[in-house]
Chains A and B, each alone.
Chain A
């Protein structure tokens, strides 16, 4: 299983991929993850990979090999869609963050991203920002997205929640559980 998590630096892609990786490990699979640290994290386009199976060699997913692509932002979904397999699925958090090239007017933010993606891929969208706001904590956006993604990756809800409990800060277990369920039941 090849999973790719993309987004904008600071959105929590790293934590999301780590939770996926730990859940797969607990289920007995060989697991590898690849992360991005350093300068690229500063508001740039970030990519993490999670691969699990009987035996995993490289820690990255190759273009054209991804089963589940999770994107925290629309433009990033467009940027990395070619990593998907023909029957791969895509989960997109329906939000827009303008890159600096757009803010300063050098480039325009593409229109109709979701329509284009939907015409080519099996696409699931979610407005995790709104859901998180309703839950009263805008910081759990990534957990809402994870909840929706979890259903398409496999494992039981309990397996996911166990990893979540062991990964997020103790004080935030309750709100993260709610956020996960909100995404999972979507």
Chain B
């Protein structure tokens, strides 16, 4: 068998291919995005970007009910958006297998919270399968479809950032070609109105009891008996930390983390002196074990926050050991908007006008930090528009005269458009800025419904954002070049001071989008530089202040957007052809 080193997300895609998945729908979200991108490379699998996770899950459910193996992928907060179908799909069950990949982000590498998907799965009564490396990711993913079909249930496949974004060795297998299931109308199973849902709720409970009983004999739950003085109950990437830090300890490694294998856990606890439950985030496993009346150690030793590590475990088990070298003091290097980013241009104008922004989820969240300091709030996808509406209704037009909502094109189509419909319906006079960079930027340039390309790279209809806004009744829609700072300034001033609901679409492609040419660079002529520092206020990483106070522009980083030039009152910055 061919061996390859693969990202956890690529291994999941490979598992989906090998499992015979035919339909996959997803919305990008770190750390889940690459699953769909890798899966799209297989001709045998239909893959798509949906506008949001609710839509994605419903598409996958439709495919499952129609009779083919299907899946949806999302990040943890995406599952919140998809939770409406999720809870009821637990009742309907499946026809062909349905697996929902959910990627949690302990440590907040690229998220707004640290919620634990296992908690949602428990309340929805859905099984959860969790691998601990890429090899398991591929094999367990195939197994998830067996569980889904055997127990007639959607299955949640949980990964975490470290699993999704680490690489390990995978052995490739051929694709299975499972027979499509015939479709038969079944109102009692698929039409969830009270009479049938009452019946299905009984099925859900019976299924969970059966699955819990069977869990102790599932091959993905296993005991590695070692030293019986100390044992760990663990799963996912945390298992690797246990093996690294305490290689001789006994380990109960869970491949299915909901429902738990009660009999297996009871046996393990009986045969080991001290048992630790080692799980990142919430004490989901620990609390259930305690509720059964067993004594284990858990969150009194290990945090509910961030990622775990082998050193952290060693510290708890063996006591802290000093490092050979002390950690040096070094100025922080937080993420920043890229050189040439059109968002910087918009935020520089908002900053100049002292306007607050209700922000949203995307690269442009970075408009909150110095030196731009524009964004005041960021909650979740699409929330900028509704938050601003709430502010207007709370304190009136006067209060929001120095406020706008800022939202990206992909996020606007995700859930922002609903909030804009609410503004139209409920007589808002606010200003909404759609920062249209023609891609889903932060997750690494995924297509969406307004880019004109599908996930598979095919041409398709591109929704015109301006027409969309007009069609729902926005009275004033203005499209403008995101780098036209004079035009932006005038338009924003007029809009926030007026009484008409306005959408300003600031357009310019993401500086990292492929296929663009940057024929020019900006240079600062030291003899003409008055050292005023105006250009540094835009926060472009290509610009640095020299010891003599003049500004130098790094030619490899600069893409010649000219924003710094626009802010130089002395004409010291010039745009010249790239050497």
Contact A120–B244 (Cβ < 8 Å): no
Partner of A38, one of B5, B109, B369, B545: B109
Whether A98 and B166, one on each chain, are in contact in the complex, defined by CB atoms closer than 8 angstroms, is no
Q: Are A37 and B444 in contact (CB under 8 A)?
A: yes
Contact, CB under 8 Å: B328 / A62? no
| Chain A residues within an 8 Å CB radius of B539 | 100, 103-104
Partner of B169, one of A25, A44, A79, A108: A25
- How far is B335's CA from A109's CA once the two chains are assembled, in angstroms? 17
C-alpha gap A21/B5 in the complex (Å): 8
Binary interface encoding of chain B residues 164-182 relative to chain A, with 1 for a CB under 8 A from any of its CBs, else 0? 0111110000000000000
Q: Type the 1/0 row for A73-98, where 1 means its CB is closer than 8 Å to any CB of B.
A: 00110110110111000000000011
Does B323 touch A at the CB level, under 8 Å?
yes
CB contacts under 8 Å to A, within B327-359, are 327-338
Contact status of A100 and B324, CB under 8 A, knowing A30-B169, A40-B109 = no
Residue from B7, B169, B330, B363 within 8 A of A42 (CB atoms): B363
Q: Which of B133, B311, B323 contacts A32 (CB 8 A)?
A: B133
- CB of B334 within 8 A of CB of A99, answer yes
Chain B neighbourhood of A79, CB < 8 A: 328, 330, 333
Tell which of A53-61, A150-158, A171-179 binds the partner: A53-61
CA distance A27 to B328 in the complex (A): 35
**A107 close to B (CB within 8 Å):** yes
Contact B333 A99 (CB under 8 A): yes
Whether B325 lies near A32 (C-beta < 8 A) is no
User: Do residues B330 and A98 form an inter-chain contact, with CB atoms below 8 A?
Assistant: no
A107 — which chain B residues lie within 8 A by C-beta? 331-332
CA of A37 to CA of B423 in the docked complex: distance in angstroms? 35
Give the number of residues in A that approach B within 8 Å (Cβ atoms).
58
Q: Does A45 contact B (CB under 8 A)?
A: yes
Known: A42-B366, A62-B310, A82-B323. A10 touches B338 (CB 8 A): yes
Chain A, Cβ-Cβ closest to B328 = A78
Indicate whether A98 sits within 8 Å of B167 (C-beta atoms), given known contacts A62-B310, A82-B325: no
In the bound complex, do residue A35 and residue B328 qualify as a contact, i.e. CB atoms below 8 Å apart?
no
Q: With A22-B5, A84-B324, A104-B370 given, is the CB distance from A35 to B166 under 8 Å?
A: yes
Whether, in the assembled complex, A33 has its beta carbon less than 8 Å from a beta carbon of chain B, the answer is yes
B536 at the interface (CB under 8 A from A): yes
Known: A37-B30, A75-B333, A85-B324. A103 touches B244 (CB 8 A): no
Q: Is the Cβ of A60 less than 8 Å from the Cβ of B442?
A: no
Find chain A residues with CB under 8 A from B237 CB.
58-59
Which of B311, B331, B335, B363 is close to A110, meaning CB atoms less than 8 Å apart?
A: B331
The range of chain B's interface size is 35 or more
Cβ of A8 under 8 Å from chain B:
yes
Q: For the complex, what is the distance from the CA of A107 to the CA of B333, rounded to whole Å?
A: 11
* Chain A residues in 8 Å Cβ range of B444: 37-38
Q: Let me know if B166 and A100 touch, CB within 8 A.
A: no
Residue of A39, A63, A107, A110 ringed by the most chain B CB atoms within 10 A: A39
> Is there an interface contact between B311 and A63, defined as CB atoms closer than 8 Å?
yes
Interface residues in B2-22 by Cβ distance below 8 A to A read 3, 5, 7
Does B516 touch A at the CB level, under 8 Å?
no
Task: Please give, as numbers and ranges, the residues of chain A lying within 8 Å of B328 by CB-CB distance.
Answer: 78-79, 81-82, 116
In the complex the two chains form, is B331's CB within 8 Å of A108's CB? yes
User: CB within 8 A of B443: which of A30, A35, A38, A62?
Assistant: A38
Report the Cα distance A32→B133, complex, angstroms: 9
Residue B541 CB within 8 A of the other chain: yes
Contacts of A104 in B (CB 8 A): 370-371, 536, 539
**Bound Cα distance A34, B30 (Å):** 15
Contact B332 A101 (CB under 8 A): yes
A32 to chain B: which residues have CB within 8 Å? 133, 166-168
Say whether B527 faces chain A, with CB atoms less than 8 Å apart: no
The complex places the Cα of A33 from the Cα of B134 at a distance, in Å, of 11
Find B110's partner among A37, A57, A75 (CB 8 Å cutoff).
A37
Among residues of B, the one whose C-beta sits closest to the C-beta of A102 is B331
The 5 A-B pairs with the shortest beta carbon distances in the complex, nearest first, are A38-B110, A38-B30, A59-B166, A44-B335, A107-B331
Please give the residue numbers on chain B whose beta carbons come within 8 Å of chain A beta carbons, in ascending order: 3, 5, 7, 30-31, 33-34, 109-110, 133, 162, 165-169, 237, 240-241, 243-244, 309-311, 323-338, 363, 365-366, 369-371, 442-444, 536, 539, 541, 543-545, 556
Instruction: Apart from A35-B166, A60-B166, A76-B333, list 19 A-B contacts with CB within 8 A.
Output: A22-B5, A25-B3, A37-B30, A38-B110, A39-B365, A40-B335, A58-B243, A62-B244, A64-B323, A79-B333, A82-B328, A84-B324, A97-B541, A99-B331, A100-B333, A103-B536, A108-B331, A120-B325, A138-B556
